[in-house]
Structure 1
Amino acid sequence: MNTTNTSTAPAGIDPNIKVVPIMVALITGVFFSIMNETLLNVALTPLSEQFDVPHTTIQWLTTGYLLVVGILVPISALLISWFTTRQMFIGGMIIFTIGTLICGFAPNFPVLLIGRLVQATSTGLMLPILMNTILVLIPAERRGSAMGLIGLVIMFAPAIGPTLSGLIVENFGTQWLFFFVVPFALLSIGIAWVYLKNVTRVTKPKINIPSIILSTIGFGGIVFGFSSAEGEAGFAQPQVIVSIVVGAIALAAFIVLQLRLKEPMLDFRTFKYPMFSISTILMVIVMMSMFSTMILLPMLLTDGIGLTGTIAGLALLPGGLLNGLFSPITGRLFDKFGPRALIIPGTIALSIVLFFLSNINADTPFALFVALHIVLMLSISMIMMPTQTNGLNQLDQSLYPHGTAILNTLMQVAGAIGIAFFVGIKASGVMSAEADGATEAMAVIAGTKGAFTIAFVISLLAVVLSFFTKRAKSPQGAPGEANQQPMH
């Protein structure tokens, strides 16, 4: 990657912008922001004991975090149009650092939760800023490699979070989960302070208050509803049903309003571009598959196969690490060969793995679970960033903030839906098997097989869509196989 890039710099942007230091600052900040989504997973029980609150309450450290991120990501397109890249990123990282310090010094649970929500305020903005900056600074013919680095961040950060959490809590104490992050946040701020320049046009569009309210209720309600569908009651809980229904109604009203506004907060004209539409559906399927597998496999290995939690966690670590390490490679392959060479075999491999997982039993070797998870995560790396990059490449530059906001919002929503949906299917299967006289372990296996069967069927849609994928040509004139125009 060159240290400077003048060919795609918008008018009014410093032509001598140094790309590499900017990318280092952004990736460092985003890495630790995203890692915080899973950093507390292993620490929830110790935190529950430390602050003397029940598990249902301590879970708000995760649910509240995802809720705030789900609310803020859709608004990111509006904020990127109101503030410079420098203001957004440095301001966001300062907020993240403040939230992290609040968590580290928290004397009780309410203060800890406040700090966690402050952290989430920054996380909801970091990934859209990084993606939008790459779209502006990096030419389309080299964008795959840069987006591959985002794949490393998105996958490696959550994968290492639980492992790092266990080591820190066991050796240093829960407060060091937060103090550990502070130096890296300050490093990111320092590099950005020196090198980061504005790379986007500040247009300051009219702020439509009803859009913000409907977006907050819509996306927030759906994320909260699906994230709360836990326990035996699952989706039958009144607060879950009300949250999802109210969220869906508000979201429908939000979309209708955006289509009528001259300056929408989230511009759904992005779906007029065929590659962006296909990319969006593929991303939803992949995120549902990934997040559901991350929670179903540990449950299967511990409750069904009888392994310890430590062994189950280690079984998933190689796949997560290889996914992150392979993402930059898939980015370079995308630049050289285009999306079809990666997405088609990737979706086929995803379906094959899910088919095998839908046919597991108590005698399935442990090594096979590890191998299947590795292939699953590698297939996701072949799909995720190439799909996302190809879809965004087709958009006009004015739609970049909206395209990144839409994709990142739906990734959050798809993750929450995937976990709740497939865990719900698994729970129903468990109850049905137990009613037929199966042991607890066999019931868990039966329920998990049922969930993976549904996941396999859904994955076949991804296989079909992959054959409709073509390399998109940017309206700015990037080279490609297909010069596709918006659908009318």
Structure 2
Amino acid sequence: MPADLSARPAGGRTPIVIRLLVLATFVVILNETIMINAIPRLMTDLHVTERSAQWVSTAFMLTMAAVIPVTGWFLQRVTTRRAYALAMGVFLVGTALSAVAPNFPLLLMGRVVQAGGTAVMMPLLMTTLMTVVPERDRGRVMGNVTLAISVAPAMGPVISGLVLQLGSWRWLFVLVLPIAGAVTWLGLRQLENVGEPEAGTIDWFSVALSTLGFGGLVYGLSRFETGNVTTPALIVVVGLVVIAAFVLRQRRLQRTGTPLLDVRVLLVGTYAKALTLMAIAFLAMLGSMLLLPLYLQNLRHLSPLATGLLVMPGGLAMGLLGPSIGRLYDRFGGRLLVIPGSIGVTAALAGFTQISLSMPYWVLLALHILLMVSLAAAFTPVFTLGLGALPQHLYSHGSSMLGTLQQVAAALGTALVVTVMSARTTALVEDGIEPATAHLDGMKLAFGVSAALSLIVIVMAVLLPNRSHAPDESGEREPQLVH
């Protein structure tokens, strides 16, 4: 059936389907980091240890890593409306369960259910965008997407700091519930189906390998700490071995059946470079999101709310600049944005290596804004360049691969900065250095490692093309918009 071109955006406007999906994605992804400030409250209210309480964030990330690889297959098998209804319905159930959970196990279950719905939303948004938005407008529209996938995690701690200042941790879920419900209702009223679902069976062995491999990798990375390296390292190695088996299984299914996650996306050079850049940049962002609050609260003794307010301008700048950066990409291409953006990321992280107990707050604010704006300048073009280099039938798999690697990068970034910081701090304390000074030095070294890794971002930025074009697919029809 030919595409319904009347449903395409007129006059450069963003399609309503994309606006709805961006709004829904922002709401669900916000919850990935919204519990970071609630750990002390959970320990008191639910009588759990700090390590147990940390699982409200770890379990969310773990579930995302395990579920996202399946979404590439899933999104090709169901309609847009059905995928949206399932994702938001599952998210609402998880949010309601978390809000009323009488004990910690039920709260944890609610977070896992929440994450199951969230895992579908980002690949659904990216796949739909690449299908319905013409290439000439993708940068502008992808700029709006930056708000959902990059700003939402950064705003989670800010919002939770404000809510926790006024009330119980349960309000973090109670307030989200009606908003998510309204977004779900609005979406189901106005959302159109994009394309036709394909027939195909699922390979459950691949599902098991994906869950154990990616889930095990993220779990192992999240367990790293000073004095406990061997066991997490072993889990990480096992996870990598299972992922290797998963990849071999997908290569076999590409020849004989339907792969769960089509790894041929990695053979597309521009996509592979974009994926590498995104992973390292996301690692740097999540690492700084962890280190900066620790520095501000533990060493500068700011409250969670004050900490959130200090980092809020950077998150807002990142989101507000997204559409403008997208329009610049549409006009001039990616290199004008990605190369300066990658240099800005390295410069900001290098600046954070100079933190001290007396550094003016305006300097910290300026460095954080530079980091967030630089990441925005890189994220929007790189998303567009990477996915734009894929043929249409691989959009969903490319989006799933991107989402999976983001979760792995988040876990790796957290593990890396915590391990480096803790090891350095412990070594200095043992040498007789005062604990606060040792802690500060550990943080500076962790920022230094992140800055060194971000040099890879600059290299990938230089190697990326200015524009990307998907290979011609003979016999491919235009995307169908089914009412």
TM norm. shorter chain > 0.5: yes
Task: State whether residues 217 and 246 of structure 1, in contact with CA within 8 Å, keep that contact through their aligned partners in structure 2.
Answer: no
Which of 215, 220, 224 matches 1:225?
A: 220
Distance 2:165 2:297 in 1: 21
CA contact (8 A) 1:344 1:467 kept: yes
- 1:15, CA displacement in angstroms? 4.3
Q: How many residues align?
A: 464
**1:6-405 maps to which residues of 2 (within 5 A)?**
11=1, 14-17=4-7, 20-230=15-225, 232-236=226-230, 238=231, 240-262=232-254, 263-405=258-400
**Deviation of the 1:66 alpha carbon:** 0.9
- The 1:40/1:266 distance shift into structure 2, 3 A limit, reads same
Instruction: Name the CA shift for 1:166/1:360 in 2 (closer, same or farther; >3 Å).
Output: closer
Give the Cα separation in 2 of the matches to 1:173 and 1:301.
23
How far the C-alpha of 1:165 sits from its partner, in A, is 1.8
Q: CA offsets per residue over residues 401-456 of structure 1, 9 Å max, x none? A: 11101111101100110111122111111122223322112111211221222222
Residues in 1 aligned to 2:133 and 2:259: alpha-carbon distance in whole angstroms: 26
TM-score by length of 1: 0.90
Deviations 1:138-192 (A, max 9, x none): 0111111111111111233223222222333333433222121122222222222
- Report the Cα distance in structure 1 between the residues aligned to 2:330 and 2:352, rounded to whole angstroms: 32
- Rounded Cα–Cα distance in structure 2 between residues aligned with 1:212 and 1:383: 32
* Maintained 8 Å contact 2:161/2:308: no
Q: In the TM superposition, what is the alpha-carbon distance from 1:382 to its structure 2 partner?
A: 0.7
8 Å CA contact 1:304–1:442 kept in 2: the answer is no
Aligned partners of 1:308 and 1:212: how far apart in 2? Answer: 43
Bigger shift: 386-395 or 57-66? 57-66
Alpha carbons 1:344, 1:466 under 8 Å: kept: yes
**Higher RCO, 1 vs 2 (CA within 8 Å, ≥6 residues apart):** 2
Deviations for 1:348-367, whole angstroms, at most 9, x for unmatched residues? 11112222222333443222
- Which one-letter code corresponds to 1:381 in the other structure? A
**Structure 1 residue aligned with 2:479:** none
Q: Which amino acid is the alignment partner of residue 473 of structure 1?
A: H
- Residue of structure 2 equivalent to 1:4: none
Aligned-residue CA RMSD (Å): 1.9
Residue 83 of structure 1 aligns to a residue whose secondary structure is coil
Residue 393 of structure 1: how far off its partner (Å)? 0.4
Aligned partner of 1:475 in structure 2 is 471
Q: Distance in 2 between matches of 1:320 and 1:434?
A: 35
CA apart distance, 1:229? 1.9
Q: Tell me how far 1:293 sits from its aligned partner.
A: 0.6
- Aligned partners of 1:280 and 1:443: how far apart in 2? 36
Q: Using the TM superposition, give the Cα deviation of residue 235 of structure 1 relative to its aligned residue in structure 2, in angstroms.
A: 2.7
The one-letter code matched in structure 2 to 1:302 is Q
Q: Could you tell me whether the CA contact under 8 Å between 1:74 and 1:409 is conserved in 2?
A: yes
> Residue 438 of structure 2 corresponds to which residue in structure 1?
443
Give the whole-Å Cα distance in 1 for the aligned partners of 2:167 and 2:439. 35
In the aligned structure 2, how far is the partner of 1:31 from the partner of 1:107? 28
Deviations 1:192-223 (A, max 9, x none): 22222221331133321221111111100011
Give the unaligned 5+ runs of structure 2.
10-14, 474-483
The more displaced of 62-71 and 440-449 is: 440-449
Q: Which amino acid aligns with 2:250?
A: Q
- Aligned AA for 1:160? M
Unaligned runs of 5+ in 1: 1-10, 478-488
Take 2:440 and 2:177, find their aligned partners in 1: how far apart are those partners? 42
1:44 alignment partner AA: I
3-state SS of 2:197 partner: coil
| Cα distance change on mapping 1:460 and 1:241 into 2, 3 Å | closer
Contact 1:40 1:162 in 2 (8 A): yes
Bigger shift: 449-458 or 122-131? Answer: 449-458
Residue identity matched to 1:118: V
Q: Within 2, Cα distance between the matches of 1:171 and 1:454?
A: 37
Secondary structure, counterpart of 1:39 in structure 2: coil
Q: Which moved more, 1:293-302 or 1:244-253?
A: 293-302
**1:289 CA displacement:** 0.4
- Separation in structure 2 between the aligned mates of residue 162 and residue 464 of structure 1, nearest angstrom: 31
Q: 1:372 to 1:170 in 2, by over 3 A?
A: closer
AA in 2 matched with 1:474: A
What is the CA distance between 1:305 and its match in structure 2? 4.5
Q: Give the Cα–Cα distance (whole angstroms) in 2 for the partners of residues 316 and 106 of structure 1.
A: 30
Q: Deviations over 1:42-85 (max 9, x none)?
A: 22222222222222222221111111111111100011111111
Name the amino acid aligned to 1:416. Answer: A
The CA distance in 1 between the partners of 2:374 and 2:349, in whole Å, is 11
Query: Does the Cα contact within 8 Å between 2:8 and 2:133 map onto a contact in 1?
Result: no
Q: Report the alpha carbon displacement of residue 307 of structure 1 after superposing the two structures with TM.
A: 4.5
Identity across matched positions, percent: 35
Q: Summarize the Cα distance change of 1:315–1:442 in structure 2 as closer, same or farther, 3 Å threshold.
A: same
User: 1:485 — aligned with what?
Assistant: none
- Report 1:419-430 matches (<5 A): 419-430=414-425
**Match 1:412 to one of 407, 421, 432:** 407
8 Å CA contact 1:303–1:444 kept in 2: the answer is no
Letter in 2 for 1:248: L
Checking the alignment, whether the CA contact within 8 Å between 1:13 and 1:199 is kept in structure 2 is: no
2:480 matched residue in structure 1: none
Q: Is the 8 A contact 1:234 1:424 kept in 2?
A: no
